[in-house]
Structure 1
Amino acid sequence: MDRGSRRTALICFLILVPLAVGPAACGSNEHPWDAAPHDATAHVALNVGEGGRAVDPDEPLEITARDGDRITDVRAVDAAGRRLDGELSADGARWRSTTPLTASTRYTVAVGTERDDGAPGRRTAAFSTRPGDGRELGVDFGPSPGTYGVGQPITAELSRAVREGKQRAIVERALRVTSSPQAAEGSWHWVDDRTLHYRPRTYWPAHATIVVRSALEGVWIRDGLRGGAAEPLRIRTGDRVEAVVDIDRTEMTVRKNGETLRTVPVTTGKPGFRTREGVKVIIGKQAHVRMTGTSIGIPEGSPESYDMPVEWAAQLTESGEFVHAAPWSAAWHGRDNVSHGCTGMSTEDARWFFETVRLGDIVRHVGGDGPRMPAFGNGFGDWNLPWDRWREGSALHGLRN
């Protein structure tokens, strides 16, 4: 059976229920729209399936007026509160949805009608849609549940690439982030075709609960692809801990909730290995780690080559920048920058820093003449993008989309 025949077979007639209308608020002349609803039986046909059978979500919703009635308005809303858009014919005889139905959900429909004399009528109905037949787009939120610093971005990894702007908007609109206490205005940013990051305009509030959910399940994205189910994510933030490393002055100041805890002498990258400037987020912690020059591109046998055990290492970039103990360069702490890019300090200070910070805390390098920390691709440099440029990466707000 073709689709047209199937739709015809699914037509059912729903009798409108009179809608109570109160007396006119002012004026004494009676108008048709002031009158009580007509008590004549009005008919509306909807292709929503007989006997409660689920509807194919790839078919449009169609509503047809009969017996002299005209459709004046239609409101069709799914279980997640998304309204179904549609078009009404010029004569009011037919309404047809223009956006695809969501799969595996329940819709409620309210249809308003009007007769030639202006008498109104209204009918409500409900129907369900069956699962879609195509592939599903999965979403995996990050980081893992836990407590993080106020600089931690939220990530969403998609199971399939989404490239087209309208499709990205469908996906992004369904990914929802809430914070209690409420954070500043926030936005998703498309890092690539399968990765989104979310951050507020400013850092998260301290001691906040952040919840990330997807309302994408069953939502049509493109032919053959609908949204799949996704596990929600709940994380918390701890105190606001921020370390500022002044490269020129070779010192690091650590603040907690605005109060200075400690200022310590440090050394950062020497010429040829300058430490990146900008905001970084702690992405890992290791009490003991082996560091080698080959891991950052220094060949074995080079005068710059090294291979040594390191203690109390807080990782800032994927390329190998850490804050760590560097007792071998103690004579230079607070005096000169002699490292291969890491921020080194005494073992005592490094252990204190290691025990003070958590993943998601902020380390900001200022001064010096090193390269800028990139926004993406080398850890979390998200905060280095000004807010207007961050929003440009959104399919909903961006100027490029």
Structure 2
Amino acid sequence: MRPISVHPVRHPSARLAVAAAVLAPLVLTACSSGDSGGSTDGKAGGSQSNSKPATVTVTPSGQAAKAGEPVRVTAQGGRLASVEVTDGKGKALKGRLSDENTVWTSERRAAPGTTYQVTTRTSADGGATDTKKASFTTTAAQKVNKVELRPGKKTTVGIGQPISFVFDHPVANKAEVEKHLKVSTSNDTEGSWGWMKDWSGRDRVDWRPEEYWKPGTKVTLDAQLNGIDSGPAGGWFVRDYSTDFTIGSHQVVKVDLDAKQLTLERDGKKVRTIPVSGGTPDDKRRSWKGTTVLMSKEGTINMRSETVGLGDAYDKMVDYSMRLTWSGMYAHAAPWNSGYFGRANKSSGCIGMSTENAAGFYDQVRVGDPFVTTGQDTKGVPPQGNGFSNWNLSWTEWQKLSALK
């Protein structure tokens, strides 16, 4: 029986150069020899095969192994019958054997700060079989990158809702990260990822279909990021992310600021029309136009003008607040502006309506519903990253934001 030989792997970020490392061999726990020959005259002392077990090498190896690489098991002088690699939680890494059954490579990469157990079963060229066990531990991540993910699990959202990741730290390896974000749908919806800066200044990537989602579509996201390096200053991902959600009815909110009215349409039919007042047509208070997406229904919140660059103009508790951008555009109840509903745009940028209309409308709309705002008294479309402005780009323009284009 021969121990598994392990090649040392040097971590590129180590501060001390190591000329050579002597690593403990993988532990051999059991083996069986090949077939033995028997005597022809019935006497003891028949000869035994001299075949030797295959030599198996595992990389990465050691107690300070490099993370972010696939686990690779190689047999010399024989073939791999089976390979099992499990992490510290007992979860197995899936992998594939080469055509000759001499090399096994994991589909996932070794994650930082994890101990892996490796069990191999081999058959030697001369017929001997052998089972070996060993382990290695990857170095811990010096910085961990985390994400905020929308929408949440088991939710039902509107036809304009994108899948959205906002990262805690910069992502330089955008293409590598994007490769590991898998979206599947119940009806093979086509879509694409697009990278941008979030309103917070952090890196962000959204996935949207070519057109609005079809009602009833079931969507699953599987982001296998554990073990992926986001690049310089970004750190490692040390967990996977997932979500699943369903697309609700086909609802679109149309806000005509020339006519000063809002119309809710469901499945192409008008559900209700509400007189509104939009942003005052001056340099600071105009409303955004184009397509925004209802981000959240926030109920009663405190709105302060200083948070949107309007000094001390107002400080109010506002009911039935529905967020449309990160920069502070909402649809909400605005009873103080009742004299302007349907007549003039006199708000500080939001879409205001009566408390009664806001209450009914609030109950009818769903997070993910698109709001399409038109009118001369507007200031252009929100930039990408300020809420979900994804639909203001054509499909061709959106695809160009992918790191895999």
2:297 to 265, 274, 285: 285
Distance 2:132 2:150 in 1: 36
Partner of 1:230: 240
> Residue 289 of structure 2 aligns to which amino acid in structure 1?
E
CA distance in 1, matches of 2:176, 2:242: 18
1:172 counterpart = 2:178: yes
**What runs of 5+ residues in structure 2 fail to find an aligned partner?**
1-5, 9-19, 32-50, 87-91, 123-128
**Amino acid across the alignment from 1:161:** P
Correspondence 1:366 to 2:378: no
Corresponding residue for residue 193 of structure 2: 187
Q: In the alignment, what sits opposite 2:311?
A: 299
Amino acid at match of 1:299: G
CA RMSD between the two structures: 5.0
Cα deviation for residue 323 of structure 1 reads 1.6
Closer, same or farther: CA 156–287 of 1 in aligned 2, 3 Å: closer
1:339 shift after superposition: 2.1
User: What is the distance in 2 between the residues matched to 1:202 and 1:129?
Assistant: 49
In the TM superposition, what is the alpha-carbon distance from 1:133 to its structure 2 partner?
A: 0.9
SS of residue matched to 2:359: helix
Cα separation, 2, equivalents of 1:394 and 1:312: 36
2:348 paired with 1:340 = yes
What is the alpha-carbon distance in structure 1 between the residues aligned to residue 110 and residue 310 of structure 2? 54
Matches within 5 A, 1:2-401: 3=8, 45-48=55-58, 58=66, 61=72, 63=74, 102-103=110-111, 130-135=136-141, 136-145=144-153, 146-163=155-172, 165=173, 168-191=174-197, 194-219=203-228, 226-272=236-282, 273-300=285-312, 305-395=313-403, 397-398=404-405
Q: How far apart are the structure 2 equivalents of 1:268 and 1:307? A: 18
Distance 1:157 1:129 in 2: 35
SS in 2 for 1:227: coil
**Residue identity (%):** 28
Query: Are the structure 2 counterparts of residues 387 and 101 from structure 1 closer, same or farther at C-alpha, using a change threshold of 3 Å?
Result: same
Q: In 1, Cα distance between the equivalents of 2:148 and 2:118?
A: 27
- Contact 1:250 1:337 (8 Å CA) reproduced: yes
1:232 aligns to what SS in structure 2? strand
Cα distance in 2 for residues equivalent to 1:347 and 1:62? 67
CA distance in 1, matches of 2:186, 2:303: 40
**Cα distance change of structure 1 residues 158 and 80 upon mapping to structure 2, 3 Å threshold:** farther
**Cα 1:222–1:95, aligned 2, differ >3 Å: closer, same or farther?**
farther
**TM-score (normalizing by structure 1):** 0.66
Question: Which letter does structure 2 place at the counterpart of 1:206?
Answer: P
- Deviation per CA, 1:126-153: give whole Å up to 9, x if none: 9987442130544442333333222222
Structure number having the greater helix percentage: 1
AA aligned to 2:175 is: A
Tell me the amino acid that sits aligned with residue 212 of structure 2: Y
1:60-91 deviations in Å (ceiling 9; x for gaps): 8475766xx9x9xxxx999666779x9xxxxx
Match for 2:320: what amino acid?
Answer: W
Q: Find the residue that maps to 1:176 and give its secondary structure.
A: strand
**Shift in Å at residue 346 of structure 1?**
3.1
1:245 CA displacement: 0.8
Secondary structure of the residue aligned to 2:58 is coil
Residues 1:297 and 1:101: Cα distance change in structure 2 (over 3 Å)? closer
Deviation at 1:47, TM superposition (A): 1.1
1:244 Cα deviation (Å)?
A: 0.9
1:237-295 superposed Cα distances (whole Å, 9 cap, x missing partner):
32222101112222222111222212232221222122111111222334444444434
CA contact (8 A) 1:182 1:205 kept: no
**Partner Cα separation in structure 1 for residue 330 and residue 364 of structure 2:** 15
**Alpha-carbon contact 1:212-1:233 (below 8 Å) kept:** yes
Given that 2:252 and 2:264 are in contact with CA atoms closer than 8 Å, whether structure 1 keeps it comes out as yes
Deviation at 1:5, TM superposition (A): 7.0
Unaligned runs of 5+ in 1: 15-40, 87-91, 112-122
AA in 2 matched with 1:391? Q
**TM-score when normalising by structure 2:** 0.66
- Name the CA distance, whole Å, in 1 between partners of 2:27 and 2:365: 64
